[in-house]
Amino acid sequence: MPGNSFGTIFTVTTFGESHGPALGCVVDGCPAGIPLSTQDIARELRRRRPGGGGPATSRAEADEPELLSGVFEARTLGTPIAIIVRNTNQRSTDYDALRDVYRPGHADWAWEAKYGVRDHRGGGRSSGRETLSRVAAGAVAKRFLSEYGVTVRAWTSAAAGIQVIRPEDPGFSLEEAEANPLMVPHRESAERIMERIETLRAQNDSAGGIVSCSVMGLPPGLGEPVFGKLDARLAAAMLSLGAAKGIEFGAGFAAASGTGSSRNDCPVPKDAARLSPAVPALRYQTNNAGGILGGISTGMPLEFKVAFKPVPSISKPQQTTDRQGAIRELIIQGRHDVCIVPRAVPVVEAMTALVLTDLLLLHRCDTQIRIST
Amino acid sequence: MPGNSFGTIFTVTTFGESHGPALGCVVDGCPAGIPLSTQDIARELRRRRPGGGGPATSRAEADEPELLSGVFEARTLGTPIAIIVRNTNQRSTDYDALRDVYRPGHADWAWEAKYGVRDHRGGGRSSGRETLSRVAAGAVAKRFLSEYGVTVRAWTSAAAGIQVIRPEDPGFSLEEAEANPLMVPHRESAERIMERIETLRAQNDSAGGIVSCSVMGLPPGLGEPVFGKLDARLAAAMLSLGAAKGIEFGAGFAAASGTGSSRNDCPVPKDAARLSPAVPALRYQTNNAGGILGGISTGMPLEFKVAFKPVPSISKPQQTTDRQGAIRELIIQGRHDVCIVPRAVPVVEAMTALVLTDLLLLHRCDTQIRIST
Amino acid sequence: MPGNSFGTIFTVTTFGESHGPALGCVVDGCPAGIPLSTQDIARELRRRRPGGGGPATSRAEADEPELLSGVFEARTLGTPIAIIVRNTNQRSTDYDALRDVYRPGHADWAWEAKYGVRDHRGGGRSSGRETLSRVAAGAVAKRFLSEYGVTVRAWTSAAAGIQVIRPEDPGFSLEEAEANPLMVPHRESAERIMERIETLRAQNDSAGGIVSCSVMGLPPGLGEPVFGKLDARLAAAMLSLGAAKGIEFGAGFAAASGTGSSRNDCPVPKDAARLSPAVPALRYQTNNAGGILGGISTGMPLEFKVAFKPVPSISKPQQTTDRQGAIRELIIQGRHDVCIVPRAVPVVEAMTALVLTDLLLLHRCDTQIRIST
Amino acid sequence: MPGNSFGTIFTVTTFGESHGPALGCVVDGCPAGIPLSTQDIARELRRRRPGGGGPATSRAEADEPELLSGVFEARTLGTPIAIIVRNTNQRSTDYDALRDVYRPGHADWAWEAKYGVRDHRGGGRSSGRETLSRVAAGAVAKRFLSEYGVTVRAWTSAAAGIQVIRPEDPGFSLEEAEANPLMVPHRESAERIMERIETLRAQNDSAGGIVSCSVMGLPPGLGEPVFGKLDARLAAAMLSLGAAKGIEFGAGFAAASGTGSSRNDCPVPKDAARLSPAVPALRYQTNNAGGILGGISTGMPLEFKVAFKPVPSISKPQQTTDRQGAIRELIIQGRHDVCIVPRAVPVVEAMTALVLTDLLLLHRCDTQIRIST
């Protein structure tokens, strides 16, 4: 498959440039009979929109999704679900100055090196606005997962150089994360980060950060060894985000300096019916593995973190090169996020939901065949 | 595609259990006319074998590859290349004790939760021995890349809690990495790590570490946005390795706490012919991006790191659970690595070579069409 | 991939129900720099529309395509090309009577057996209107092929039980095929078929027929043995059309009763530069193979025929069964083609163009690597 | 995927040249727990071997399969199943005369036009011997289908210009088809065909024919519209066979000249439990559709026919061209089938079984999700 489709049997194909007529997606392979409405999609898109007064861009799009196919009488048909969102608030002339110059930290030149041409308006398809399609598709996946009791939640766990408290710390609150524009699960941390962001904004500079993600209710057995492992699929999903520069699962990089005896998660019996006559129900005493062993979900919470680099569009003067190959000084104008991390939160959730839905469906057909049924 | 194939047009399908008759791979989509011999494959397999007296397992396999198809008169035919390696030194009875018990830190139970059955001998397909097939396939990819002047090199950059000096530090030597069984590019670091590993061995414990990888000679333009980005593909490749728990590109997690002005790589003109009439040749003053912008190679060195958890098989007593759901004390017998990181080095190279070959071929067909030719 | 995508590196994903808000497609993997406009797509869609007074449905849709992405300044960007067409002339209430009954010869019940639900309005996604998306995508492929000098032409070669003269017969004219609503390349044949169709219409009955397709200018070497052969890919493309019941290449079924000595096409030298130093240019004295040997194009005209069954929607009373499992008499109302074959002509061309574009691009990357370049 | 893999979630990848060390396949995505032995595979391979004194080649290979992975304690593990068959009876020197000449009716030149190189020994990968890998993989699929009560049976329905009686005719016997080397389900027809074949052999000529296939026990609902329809997938499978030139389903090409009222299959209630509360059980009064409507199985017998061209290797003198581009007379030596049709019978069955298994598994995961379970 070319680069704009993702998934094996529950797939999404996305399309759209930042300043073209529309962005959208086609979700194929969604089982029939799932309740789905435009509101389910609109709700997720709103979470991705820039917060008022927050760290984000001042481009204000309505981002109203339109459902073109695949749903009939409020339920999925089993046919492809196409969703589009019109671009309505483009100020493309803001970008005229960028037609012949390559922005530092952006894909501008690499894109031309690959394709020979580039839509310079707002970064074209390499814009962060592309993630809107992913969030729309992810809303379908989330709807599906909710039928299985699987919950995907992400939050800002570090931003602008400031660490946020961890889930096991007192005061951690996912409700709080939804209540502040930074998606930070702790009021004081949010305030400190906002201060730092305002300082950076005054300095015409920008920040990066880390998004943490946790999935509850995932059954054991998801993942398709050896190349379609759960962590491999999630890593691909996350590193396909423009500003992502790293991912770690469970104890992650810290695990690399530990020892087997300190890092192994020991299984203990679980008070539950056996999975099958041959296989008992278990849980693990610790979760250094982040819910994945051998690329397969263990039934423990799935936990991972994604690192995002600072926003490359800054208004500070920078040295760069133009299409003629001449050195130029560049001061980027226009509307830009100081810190993209909060807006990455629903995107990380969406991509996670897409991966899990695909693997959940694959698990049903690849391995759980009960011959006698 | 199910889980045991990787790639879009240059693909590998692997097979084999640790203690079954054979492991192997089928490489499909390799262009015709590439020189290839059994020796090319055997050489890479030797680099993966455990070193004498080193940190590795004492299972000594000859690991002689057999080339079954796809090569005629010493060149590839354009047809599938099948390679097998017989398992000859299995001591399966070592594993009888593990038939009904789930080892901590291993995939044993997750595998049963998924498939209902499990080949308990040496971990079956979830064994590290599975990577042998990847190294064999990677040898074909490396042979292909060498025709393009692309060089993939990995090394142990941390192990058993000890950091190795970096490429920019004096004394760093990739020749040295090939000369010691730890694949460490610095003699003294290697000695310190070996001491630490011997201590861990005496304690019946194990270690993890980090593999760094660097690719030179890569042209700009590789990667298939938005889901088949270069970093997304590499992340999937690396996290598909059994013990991998994280990956970062360029400045990686450290970049998350920096600012745009300190992390942006600024382009400068390159003393080279233009890429095309429309696109100049560039390079970047720094390489925080690790050679990737917007998921596309920039022509700068590709740089990333992979974190590996400690080997879970340790001879220390551990608490676990058996198939009946009862708590058991387990002391793992048999031949096991104390630290798998050095043996992961050629595997990381192999997976990198597979990704790059696929993207190099895709780049030729997807985007570089010159209509008038 | 689920069922609504087609192709390996030049892919199309289609969506849309007959009476939903819109139908459309996403074409991914189209090389950058190809001239493309809405007019290119609208032109092909017009060829698919029912002809005035002809054999076709009286539902009159404007079928105006909208290009949502992938094109900038009149050229392709290398990004996904999304095209939608609004449904504007649905008379869904025509179909209320069909909500609980299964039409003979239609997919109604099979669809419910599969998905549990069904959009009964106009057949939903199993409607012939679905092919509109294919024609839109095929227009992109045709635009691409035209840059290579490849021409795809189809025509009605039999309809309503009447055979049309063959290309080698005097009077055969593809210009004529474009001039009459039956797409028949011979005026008198067209008139005879039209008469027969009018008779069938008066009898509340319907007809089938055969579409022939010929491709000129195709280079040798296209097709990906052993499963992605040129004929295999075309057969899949054609049998994915709702009413198609068979396909044959070159001499086809007639070849099965011949002998090797009468059916072998003998190669003769061609007055042309060698393909490469090692390979001479050839052509074949005859073309029983229909331009394909071993699943690879030979450079001879590609020739095949597709059989279409009679339109199943007839106004004659038919016995059928309803959702309650009771026998019912059914008289289908609404607007229906008497003979779908002429409207299948541009669809056969579109699917052919999609297959050829994909294989042309694959051929460039899979096999034609010149190492030294 | 490149050309040597087939299937979406139950996939086969084949490899091997006619005169290389071995041929084989890797089957991935087979559910765990299916009983499977070497004997299951050997049995199918024996049906593909040339019959004694029959119409086939005199190359006598033992064709003993070796099972390298994916099976443990006589059941599938859910991991890839690799099977190889050694080539033991090659007489490669028979083919030296063909190194620089292109055989009429063969892929020799097309192959070189594509790949630049060719293994001329026995046709290399374009040899009919390649189908051995398919039959081995098909044996796994048949084993799977037998657990579901699905039976795939093919037979020779025409050969050497002689039609065999049809299933509805008195005297038709599939037991007889297994008893004679021509796979003809009628003794007298078999004898007439054998006579004709002997005449052709004496004339140094060859024959083609038709294989019919019928599948019993298939549940309704298989097929993935709109591109992965059951007939589309089967057509791709069959036209991927070297000598296949056409396929038709149910009434096929004959349907094209009929009318809707005569060709529609009318549904009638079936004495069976409803498929679901919403969907009744049905059957059809006739089966012109060949068991497929809208690309989805109807639960009626699946019926199709495949046309095979005459064997192109004949010992009669033929005119051809050599690598230098010079005209040459060619008399093909070596061991060749006069009529390949009987040996195609198990191959048609194998490919059918592969398609059905894949679609059966897809059907379970794509569409039959019962949310509340």
Q: C31, B366: Cβ pair inside 8 Å?
A: yes
Give the span between the Cα atoms of D89 and D63, in whole angstroms.
Answer: 10
pLDDT (0 to 100) of residue D372: 34
pLDDT digits (tens, 9 = 90+) for D268-318: 999 888 988 889 999 999 999 999 999 999 999 999 999 999 999 999 999
Q: Is A345 domain-assigned? A: yes
Question: How distant is the Cα of B287 from the closest Cα of chain D, in angstroms?
Answer: 34
Confidence of residue B49 (pLDDT cuts 50, 70, 90): confident
Q: How many CB atoms lie within 10 A of CB C332?
A: 23
Nearest by CB to residue A295, choosing from B116, B209, B240, is B240
pLDDT (0 to 100) of residue B232: 98
Confidence of residue D368 (pLDDT cuts 50, 70, 90): very low
Q: Which chains touch D (3 or more CB pairs under 8 A)?
A: A, B, C
Confidence of residue D88 (pLDDT cuts 50, 70, 90): confident
Whether the CB-CB separation of D361 and A26 falls below 8 Å is answered with no
Q: D31, A78: Cβ pair inside 8 Å?
A: no
Q: Chain D contact for A275, CB < 8 A?
A: no
CA nearest C219: which of C366, C371, C367, C356? Answer: C356
Written as six digits, the tokens of D271 are 């004495």
Q: Which residues pair with B248 in a beta bridge?
A: A246, B305
Q: B226, A307: Cβ pair inside 8 Å?
A: no
Written as six digits, the tokens of D228 are 């992965």
pLDDT digits (tens, 9 = 90+) for B240-257: 999 999 999 999 999 999
Q: Is C259 domain-assigned? A: no
Q: Is C173 domain-assigned? A: yes
The 10 Å CB-count burial string (b at 16+, else e) for B272-282 is eeebeeebbbb
Torsion of CA A322, A326, A327, A333, to 10 degrees: -30
Q: Is D282 domain-assigned? A: no
Residue C369 scores a pLDDT above 80: no
Q: D364, A367: Cβ pair inside 8 Å?
A: no
Q: Chain B contact for A297, CB < 8 A?
A: yes
Chain D positions in Cβ-Cβ contact with residue A147 (cut-off 8 Å):
371
Into how many domains does chain D fold?
Answer: 1
CA nearest A29: which of C3, B68, D331, C135? Answer: C3
Chain B positions in Cβ-Cβ contact with residue D82 (cut-off 8 Å):
15-16, 22, 24, 84
- To test the contact with chain D by mutation, choose from A26, A358, A366, A372 the residue with the greatest count of D C-beta atoms within 10 A, namely A366
Chain C positions in Cβ-Cβ contact with residue A118 (cut-off 8 Å):
77
pLDDT (0 to 100) of residue A364: 77
pLDDT (0 to 100) of residue B56: 55
Residue D10 is classified by DSSP as S
Please, what is the angle between helix A230-239 and helix A341-366, to 10°? 150
Residue D10 scores a pLDDT above 60: yes
Whether the CB-CB separation of A21 and C68 falls below 8 Å is answered with yes
Chain B positions in Cβ-Cβ contact with residue A342 (cut-off 8 Å):
none
Q: Chain D contact for C318, CB < 8 A?
A: yes
pLDDT (0 to 100) of residue C95: 78
Q: Is C268 domain-assigned? A: no
| CATH (domain of D154) | 3.60.150.10
pLDDT (0 to 100) of residue D366: 47
Q: What is the 3-state secondary structure (H, E, C) of chain A?
A: CCCCEECCCCEEEEECCCCCCEEEEEEECCCCCCECCHHHHHHHHHHHCCCCCCCCCCCCCCCCEEECCCEECCEECCCCEEEEEECCCCCHHHHHHHCCEECCCCCHHHHHHHHCCCCCHHHHHHCHHHHHHHHHHHHHHHHHHHHCCCEEEEEEEEECCEECCCCCCCCCCHHHHHHCCCCCCCHHHHHHHHHHHHHHHHCCCCECEEEEEEEECCCCCCCECCCECHHHHHHHHHHCCCCEEEEEECCHHHHCCCEHHHHCCCEEECCCCCCECCECCEEECCCCCCCEECCEECCCCEEEEEEECCCCCCCCCEEEEECCCCEEEECCCCCCCCECHHHHHHHHHHHHHHHHHHHHHHHHHHCCCCCCC
Q: Chain A contact for B363, CB < 8 A?
A: yes
What is the torsional sign of CA A32, A33, A34, A38?
positive
Q: D309, C279: Cβ pair inside 8 Å?
A: no
Confidence of residue C60 (pLDDT cuts 50, 70, 90): low
pLDDT (0 to 100) of residue A62: 81
Written as six digits, the tokens of B45 are 């397999």
Q: Which residues contact C282 (CB under 8 A, 6 or more apart)?
A: C267, C268, C269, C270, C299, D102, D109, D321, D325
Q: How many CB atoms lie within 10 A of CB B371?
A: 11
Residue A275 scores a pLDDT above 70: yes
| Mean pLDDT for all residues in chain C | 92
Q: Is B276 domain-assigned? A: no
Whether the CB-CB separation of A205 and B258 falls below 8 Å is answered with no
Within a 13 Å sphere around the CA of C24, how many CA atoms are in the beta-carbon half? 32
pLDDT (0 to 100) of residue A371: 36
Residue D183 is classified by DSSP as -
pLDDT (0 to 100) of residue B62: 81
Written as six digits, the tokens of A260 are 């087997």
Chain D positions in Cβ-Cβ contact with residue B26 (cut-off 8 Å):
4, 13, 15, 26
Q: Chain C contact for A77, CB < 8 A?
A: yes
Q: What is the mean pLDDT of residues D73-80?
A: 96
Q: Is C325 domain-assigned? A: yes
Q: D236, C227: Cβ pair inside 8 Å?
A: yes
Q: Is C278 domain-assigned? A: no
Q: C4, A77: Cβ pair inside 8 Å?
A: no
Residue C233 scores a pLDDT above 60: yes
Q: What is the mean pLDDT of residues C283-300?
A: 97
D279-286, Cβ contacts within 8 angstroms, sequence gap of 24 or more: D279/C109, D279/C112, D279/C113, D279/C116, D279/C323, D280/C321, D280/C323, D280/C324, D280/C325, D281/C325, D282/C102, D282/C109, D282/C321, D282/C325
Q: CB-based burial of residue B337 (10 Å sphere; 0-12 exposed, 13-18 middle, 19+ buried)?
A: buried
Question: How distant is the Cα of B304 from the closest Cα of chain C, in angstroms?
Answer: 27
Residue B20 is classified by DSSP as S
**If you count them, how many residues does chain D have?**
373
pLDDT (0 to 100) of residue B66: 98
Whether the CB-CB separation of B39 and B46 falls below 8 Å is answered with no
Residue B223 scores a pLDDT above 80: yes
Within a 13 Å sphere around the CA of B318, how many CA atoms are in the beta-carbon half? 30
| Mean pLDDT for all residues in chain D | 92
Domain, as residue range, for D144: 5-250+289-366
Q: What is the mean pLDDT of residues A159-185?
A: 96
Q: In chain D, count of helices (H) and strands (E)? A: 9, 19
Residue B335 is classified by DSSP as -
Residue D50 is classified by DSSP as P
Give the span between the Cα atoms of C298 and D113, in whole angstroms.
Answer: 8
Q: Which residues contact B157 (CB under 8 A, 6 or more apart)?
A: B163, B164, B166, B209, B210, B211, B212, B305
Give the span between the Cα atoms of A26 and A41, in whole angstroms.
Answer: 13
pLDDT (0 to 100) of residue D58: 55
Q: Which chains touch C (3 or more CB pairs under 8 A)?
A: A, B, D
